Every structure is written in structure tokens, then in C-alpha cells.
Amino acid sequence: MFIYVTIDNLKKHFIYFAIVCALWQFQAVAQNSLRKGTVDSLLQVAKQSSGLERVVAYDKLSRQYWQSNADSSIHFASLALTEAQNDKGDQAFGEAYNSMGNAYSAKKEYEIALKYYDKAKEHREQANDLLKVVYTLSNMSIALNDLKRNSESIEMLKQAAEISNTISDYKLEAEMYQQIAYHYRLLHDLNRAIEYSLKAMNIKINHKIYDDIANNYSFIGSLHRDLKNFDLAEDYYLKAYEIWLKENDDPGLSEAYNNLGIIYEEKNDYQKALEYLSKSLDLSKKLNDSLGIATTYNNIGLIYTRIEQIDYGINAYIKSLNISNKINEISSYLNTCNNIAKAYLKKNDLAQSEKYVNTVINKIKEVDDLTIIQETYEILSEVNGRKGNYKKAYEYKKIQLAYNDSLYNQQQIRNIIEMQTRFESEAKEREIQILKKDSDIKQLEYDRQKFFQRILLIISVLLFILIISAVTSFVIIRRSNKLLAQKNAEFEDANIKLLESEKSLKELNATKDKLFSIIAHDLRNPFNALMGFSDLLERNYSLLSEEERLEYIGVISDSTQNLYKLLDNLLQWTRAQTGAITYTPENFKLRNLVVQETEILIPSSEKKKINLSISIDENTTVLADKNSIATVIRNLVSNAIKFTPSNGKIEIGAHRTDKSILVSVTDTGVGINSEDLEKIFMVDSSFTTKGTANETGTGLGLLLCKEFVEKNNGKIWVDSTKGKGSTFYFTLPES
């Protein structure tokens, strides 16, 4: 796969940002203090000074130990705080508390750091030192980001940007917005990242601040590349390239050439891609940038391989490999090994392909990137498949699919974090709107009080005007009260809608997560078995024994049946969720329906030698939708068979109880843990286990049962004892 130069190193922007914040504050300290010097000279300054100057000296000493000794850093910050308590000034307290926050951040104790930053912000606001307030907010953002409190971190930066605008520090304002863009990029919210990066860039352009603007263009280009907007990505990369070319910025040009090369490859313009990557390679060599050289050789090799000039591609890969090994860039080294293995696969040179992929396997414990691991096992499966080692090929394919699931789960987690951050941001905006309504109400109240004052003034001047004013004020007061009542009603209505929206959002998220889980995992697994074993049969039919063929056909048959059951339940459930099912209650004899549905399942029960009995009176009649109740019975009996071991018993019974019919399905199966009983009917619990014969399921059948029973004005519940069996009950209206 390609190796990118800029966007994969976004975390470096936060490190750079922290250093910039520290330098800003370092430059803003008292002019009389020494700006350079050793620890000894700073100690001398601290001894000879007092008040704010001593606080600043201790803060500088604390900074000296950020990287080397966090405890010493905290010690000197504490001395700064002690001196601030003697000074009692807001400026001194602001510097000291900020120093304590920085020291605890250096020790990675971010919760403690945030408490000190909050106090520093309070004192700096009281001192009306808004620039220092911005620095503290940026420090808080970094600490919150390290604590994964993303929405709060972004909110700090938004406040910092607004204050920067207030004090007309537009360069600082643009930097705050760019940091927000980096946050959204790491959250994979690419559209918002583009929005805030454009905002930062426009501020720079409007105020003629051209420092670092090429990096803005390059960053936006990379966001468009990730969104597959390749034409827009090319436009922004070219703008960055033109600036770097004008400034003779060789590192910037090297990055621009590499990015443009990748974009042209994505657009299938391989000649242009090679041209730009060659230019990037020349500049990397000129700059003696070993990682840049290795990266570019890897990307060149990938393009040569894709245009079937495989020997040229392998030659480029080998150069990249040697450099990565020399500089100990393990991730780049192993990625290139996989690329070489795939190139040899194209040549059908299985020995060389296996040699390079085994290099990765030998160092697999050193790999953090799941994509590289998944790709490694995919290559091993392909190599063994071509060599005829189908058992090994199958095993490696299973491992590859397991890592695919891990990658999918990582993406799901990122999506959840992204949705949570969006929800919190939107909730914050709604809160601001509500506060604005409160402000409107208070303003109306204030206007009314002013009005009364005017009325009293007029009363003292003329009685006649008093009468007219009294009538007028009465009308106006009524209107004001009506408006106030209306505003209060709107406020209450907004609160109710917010609660309803939150509940609806949680239910929708749970339903969506269940569907995604089934489609991404349970629906895919039977297809994998179908494709895998049918492919083995097709390619090796004549080589397989009759016993192996029957075994493979049996697996295909079981997978097909499981797939049909899953699709049927999934279809029924989604139709129920969307309201597409029509419920038509009718009077029918329950025993006849139970016999009809259990006959379908007799082969499954006989296969496990399970005794299936029905204890329902022939005259028992219910009023319900026949089709949906048939689905309920079929799912409950099927579950009982699945979780009952061989030679077990299942009994289906029914009897009259207080104007309803109580139906029960009792088995002598494995039972359910007490802690799991509450989960089995919940859409967001994803409760599912394997049967006694390793049968698979998704937990969707019980959700469907609950949906259908409740639609028929009934209730469903379960009693179970671990190791003894379970009884599922549900009620139906009596005819």
C-alpha cells in the first residue's frame, strides 16, 4: 500500500502546537527577567527578586525540567505558587497556576493539570490579560485531547479563537481554528475539518498573514484526497506547490511532489505520477531525508507494479527496504516487504513471495498497524492456495477475516466517538439557544420595570395623563405577560423535544448498531463458508475423496440453511421496524398452528434425538395475527432445539389465565446465566451464544418474538436455571 507523508503524522501538529504555546508564553513574561541562562543563573534571579518577577523565574526553572524530571518541574512550579500567595496579585497567581498545570501535564497527570489551568484562567480573566487567557485555553485543549474528551477540547479552542479575534490577534485566531481542524481530522469528521481549515486560511488571506499558508493548502488537499475528491485535492496540492516553489522551500516541495504523485496515481495518470515522485525522490536525496527517500521508492515501486513493469517495481521496493531497515523504520520496512511479496505473486514466483511475507510474520509482534497484519495473512493465504496447501490457505484466510473484523470494530469505535462529539457540539449549540431565550425573557422583564418607572414619573406630573397611561399600561402589561407565558411555553416545549430527541437517537443508534453488526459479521460468515467451500469443490473436485466432498457439501448446506433463517428473521424484523407488516387479528385454534410450525422443525429435533411434545387442548382458541404468532412459535422452538443437548426434552403447552392464554415453551437445555436474562430482549445488548451442536445465531429471533407478541397485545418473558433448562412464556388474548 502507499505511504503518505503528511496526514498520517497529525499528532506531530499537537506536539508542535504545545511547543508554540509554551514559546508564546515564554516571550510574554516580564521584560526585566533573564531570557537565557542556566539553572544556576535562574536560581540567582529567583533569590534576588520578589513578587511577579520571582514567580516568572520559578516558572522558567520549572520549564527546564519538563522533559527530564517531572517531579523537579512540579517542585519549582510549587515555589512559584508560594510566591504568588505572598504577592496576592492576579498576574502572579495566573502565572503560577498555569506553571503548575504545565508541570502536571508534563507528568501526564492531566486531570490535576486541568484544575490548575482553570484557576489560572480565572485569575488571568480578573487581570483582563486576554492574551494569557488564550494561552491557558490552548493548554486546557491539549490536556483534554490527551484525556480523549474531544468535544470539550474543541470548545476550548473555539473560545480561544473568539478571544483572539477580540484582541485583533488574527494570526493566533487562525492557529486556533487550524487546531480545531486537526481535531476533526483525527475524529475522521473530514467535512468539518475542511470547514475550520478554510476558516483559518481565509483569516490569514483577509489579514495578509501568509506564514505557513502553504501547509493549509496541503492539509485541505489531503482531506479532499481522503474524501476521494481527487480533482479538488490536486487543486489544493498545486497551490501549496506554487508557494513552496516561490519560497524555494525544498522540504515543502518534496512533500508536494509526493502528494501530487499519489493523486495522479489515483487518477490513473501513471506517467505523471512517476514524474512527480521522481522529483520528490531527488529532493529527498538532496535533503538527506532517509525516511522520505524510503517512502518515495516504495510509492514508485507500487506504480511500476500496477503498470505491469514488475521488475522495475521490485527494484524500487528493494531500495526502499534497505533504507527503512538502515534507519530502523519497522512499519515502513514491513509494509514494503508485503508490497514485494505481492509483486512476486504477480510474477507467480511463490518462493520469493513466501520469503518476504515470512519476514513480516517473523516480526509480526512488532507491528501495531492492523492493516499490515491483515494484508500479510491475505498474501499467505494466496501463496498457499496457489501451492495447493488448501488447509493452510483456509487457516490464513480465517485469520485475515478476523483482522478484518478488528479493523471494522476500530472504525465503529471512531464513528461512535465522532457521533458523540457531534451530538455534544449540537447539544452545546442548543444550550446556547436556550440561554438566548432566557436572555430575551430577562430583557422583557427589564423593559417592563423601566416602563413602570416612567408611569410613576408621569403620575407625579399630571393626573389626567395618569388615567390614560394606566389604561395604556394595562394593555401593554397584558401583552407582555402573554408574551412571557408564550416564551415560557416554548422553553418547556423545547426541553420536552430535547428529551424525546435524545431518547429517539439512542433507540435509532441501538437499531443501527444491531443491523450493522448482523450485516458486517453474521451475514458475512455464512457467505464466506459458502464461497470458500464451493471454491474448494470447484477447483479440487477430482482431487477430493467422496468423504471430503460430502463433508464440504454438508458445510455448504448448513451455511445455506443458517443464511436463510438469518435473512428471514432480518427481513421480518426490518419490516416490523419500518411498519411494513400489517397485523390482522383473527380467531384460530392454537394447537393446529403449533403442530403446523413444529412439523417443519422435526428433522432438527430428530437429528439431536430430542423428544418434542405438545400439551395444548384442541379447543384452545386465541385472537391474534396468525402469521406473526407462527413466527414467534417457530423461533422459540428452534431456539429450544438449538440449546438442548442430545436426548433432551421440549414441551409446548398452553392454558387459560384471566382472560388470556399463557403459552410456554420448556426445554431441558443448557439454561441462561442470571446476569444475561435481562439482556436477551434488548436491542442494544447484542446477546447471542452458540448452540449445543455449535449452531450459530444473532439474537435477532428473540427481538422479533418480543416485537410480534407486543403487537398482538401480549407479553413475553423467560425463567431459566443454568444447567437445567429454560421456559419462555408469552400471553395472547383469548378468543
- The residue assigned the cell 438449538 is 642
CA separation for the pair 718, 729 (Å, rounded):
6
Quick check: 427 pLDDT over 60? Answer: no
C-alpha cell at 567: 435473512
The contacts of residue 277 (CB under 8 Å, 6+ apart) are 257, 258, 261, 296, 299, 300, 303
Please give the single-letter amino acid code of residue 159: Q
Please give the single-letter amino acid code of residue 250: D
Q: What percent of the chain has pLDDT over 70?
A: 80
Quick check: 686 pLDDT over 70? Answer: no
Number of H helices, E strands in the chain: 26, 7
- Helical (H) or strand (E) element with 587: strand 585-589
pLDDT band at 7 (very low <50, low <70, confident <90, very high): very low
Residue 649 dihedral angles phi and psi, to the nearest 5°: -130, 145
Read off the pLDDT of residues 198-208 as tens digits, 9 standing for 90 and up.
Answer: 999 999 999 99
pTM: 0.51
Please provide the average confidence, as pLDDT, over all residues in the chain.
81
Read off the pLDDT of residues 520-561 as tens digits, 9 standing for 90 and up.
Answer: 555 666 677 677 778 878 888 888 888 888 877 877 876 786
Residue 442 zone, left/alpha/beta (φ > 0; ψ -120 to 50; rest):
alpha
pLDDT band at 322 (very low <50, low <70, confident <90, very high): very high
CA separation for the pair 147, 159 (Å, rounded):
19
Check: CATH 3.30.565.10 for 582-733?
A: yes
Quick check: 323 pLDDT over 50? Answer: yes
CA distances in angstroms from 613 to 36, 342, 420, 595, listed in the order given: 91, 59, 50, 10
> Residue 151: how many CA atoms within 13 Å on its side-chain side?
14
- The residue assigned the cell 498555569 is 98
Report CA Rg, the chain: 35
Read off the pLDDT of residues 384-401 as tens digits, 9 standing for 90 and up.
Answer: 988 889 888 888 888 888
Nearest Cα to Cα of residue 382 among 348, 412, 432, 410: 348
Read off the pLDDT of residues 174-196 as tens digits, 9 standing for 90 and up.
Answer: 999 999 999 898 888 889 999 99
| Kind of pairing between the strands at 649-657 and 611-615 | parallel
Residue 641 dihedral angles phi and psi, to the nearest 5°: -60, -45
C-alpha cell at 231: 480533482
pLDDT band at 13 (very low <50, low <70, confident <90, very high): very low
- Helical (H) or strand (E) element with 669: none
Residue 682 dihedral angles phi and psi, to the nearest 5°: -100, 130
Which stretches of 369-505 are assigned E, i.e. beta strand?
none
Quick check: 101 pLDDT over 50? Answer: yes
User: What's the average model confidence in pLDDT over 572-585?
Assistant: 71
CATH of 1-147, one of 1.10.8, 1.25.40, 3.40.630, 1.10.357: 1.25.40
Quick check: 418 pLDDT over 50? Answer: no
CA separation for the pair 703, 580 (Å, rounded):
17
CA separation for the pair 465, 402 (Å, rounded):
87
CA separation for the pair 388, 374 (Å, rounded):
21
Enumerate the domain spans of the chain: 1-147, 423-517, 582-733
Nearest Cα to Cα of residue 399 among 379, 427, 413, 418: 379
Residue 669 · residue 692 · CB < 8 Å: yes
Q: Is the dihedral of CA 398, 402, 407, 412 positive or negative?
A: positive
